[in-house]
Chains A and B, each alone.
Chain A
Amino acid sequence: MDYKFPDNLKYTSSHEWVKIEEDIATVGITDYAQHQLGDIVFIQLPDLGTSVEKETSIGEIESVKAVGDLIMPLSGQIIGINENLADSPELVNSSPFEEGWILKVKFSNYDEVNNLLSVNKYKELVQSEEN
């Protein structure tokens, strides 16, 4: 199966992608993750302003067949939520890296950024899960 792996992004082993712009991280789930879940029908997200620790579950992504957790890739404060997903959760399927972004986090610990997976490491991870 051919999945998209944009190489300007960082990744997590729980299949989130992270786009770093100064001290703001945009977070979504990967093409592989949306494909595994299938048709996404509902996304439960935290409130704006919530502060969350890295690696805690901050949301639930419900597809027709399954439910997946959205895991916080970095500690920080939620400063943006993709409001379009309330009525069009399927954007996460059709455009996981663009229109289907899920939230924006203001973070301060750059060490956590360095611990995220590179695109090559993430590709390896997906390949091993596929096999």
Chain B
Amino acid sequence: MKKQEVQGVKKTPLYDIHIKLGARMVEFAGFYMPVQYESIIKEHKTVRSNAGVFDITHMGEFLFEGRDVISFLQYIMINDLNLLEPSKGQYSIMCYENGTVVDDLVYYEETPERFRMIVNASNREKDLEWLNDHIGNQDVKITNLSDERCRLAFQGPNADQLFRPLVDVDLSKINRFYFADCNLNKTPIFIARTGYTGEKGFEISFENKYAEKIWNDLTNTGASPIGLGARDSLRLEACYSLYGHEISDSITPIEAGLNWLAKPKEGIDYIGKEILLNQKSKGTERIIVGLNLIERGIIRENYKIFKDGQEIGYVTSGGYSPTLDKTIGLGLVQSQYSEVGTELEIEIRGKLLKGIIVPIPFYRNV
């Protein structure tokens, strides 16, 4: 009993496989994506204990070529590309002039004149426009590879062990955030040691035509298919920011606690630099904190946070933590109430439940 398909919603090359596996499909960022195959909790625990395969083809993939790629990106990104070298990737953010966020992303230096970038699914078009608008007369050519390539994540404590027999590259030589081009059972792939789960693992990208073969090769290792539901609960436990939640076009990276990302880059100007460095040295009025509930209940995004009857912020992400078996969340609160141990109240459908600010991340094993 298939739900009616909505026109204009895209399918990844793995759509038919997800359906065959009995996945519950949802529309997310313009794609039909699997939210769960059987159970979000089971899938979550599988990634924490063994390994899982995620279809993340909805994300964007761009190629940058030209003599000016590094200086171009230095002006747009808040992280410092001088810390990069060929075969290494970097997590970064691009900001508006006011310091709020266009998107967070990872780029990989293949050569000083050739970079690959992976961006959020919901920001693909906006990012491309933002990037193209800033090229001017620089020697930079951007190619959108999003629709011709397939992207998967392979994550979990056993990811290395299960992946090793499939590839013709020495995985032990690929450190965190480094990458390589190699073959997976004779199929050419891009492989990076990155992820969004708080576990060890890889993210790979390859031409669409290999999608089914590679999916099968990966799931035949004993790793399980994992949907977007567990992807979100895993990243929340690991406290990785999610665009539209902890960072957005109304929240700066410093408010999100990503101070380390906004680099001084002496002698190099970049968009948002002045505001970010100012916020970094003087602090911000609001800041992202970790939350637990003292009373029983589940907190979810946009629930209001109070201190002694006064509204001091809101929940940016919240839910049940399968690893810790308790309610966890992140909230944006006024900085004077942001100390760990501060007790507060969170409004859950008209009722105020007691919560407390706790250290973050809740869980990471990388």
Contacts and interface: CB of A to CB of B under 8 A. Distances in A.
21 contacts: A38-B36, A38-B39, A39-B39, A39-B41, A39-B42, A41-B320, A42-B296, A42-B298, A62-B297, A62-B298, A62-B320, A64-B40, A64-B41, A64-B229, A64-B320, A65-B35, A67-B298, A86-B296, A90-B41, A127-B1, A131-B1
Given A62-B320, A64-B320, A131-B1, A41 B298 contact: yes
Interface of A: 1, 38-39, 41-42, 44, 60, 62, 64-65, 67, 86, 90, 93, 127, 130-131
B157 interface: no
Interface in B1-29: 1, 3-4, 24
B40 A65 contact: yes
Interface string B293-314: 0001110100000000000000
B236 to A, nearest CB: 11
Interface of B: 1, 3-4, 24, 35-36, 39-42, 229, 233, 296-298, 300, 319-320, 322, 327, 349
A127 B1 CA distance: 9
Nearest to B26: A65
B40 A38 contact: yes
What 9 pairs between A and B have smallest CB-CB spacing? A41-B320, A62-B298, A39-B41, A64-B40, A130-B1, A39-B39, A39-B40, A42-B298, A64-B320
A64 B1 contact: no
Nearest to A86: B296
A44 to B, nearest CB: 7
A109 B349 CA distance: 31
Contact of A38 (B3, B229, B296, B327): B229
B319 to A, nearest CB: 6
Nearest to A39: B41
A102 B154 CA distance: 39
A65 B297 CA distance: 14
A106 to B, nearest CB: 26
Contact of A65 (B3, B229, B296, B327): B229
Nearest to B39: A39
Nearest to B44: A64
Given A39-B41, A42-B297, A64-B229, 17 more contacts: A38-B24, A38-B39, A39-B40, A41-B298, A42-B296, A42-B298, A42-B327, A64-B233, A64-B320, A65-B35, A65-B36, A65-B40, A86-B296, A127-B1, A130-B1, A131-B1, A131-B4
A46 B263 CA distance: 53
A1 B233 CA distance: 26
B300 A67 contact: yes
A113 B55 CA distance: 48
Contacts of A86: 296
Contacts of B327: 42
A46 to B, nearest CB: 13
A64 B158 CA distance: 25
Contacts of A93: 39
Nearest to B1: A130
B120 to A, nearest CB: 20
Contacts of B319: 64
A39 B24 CA distance: 13
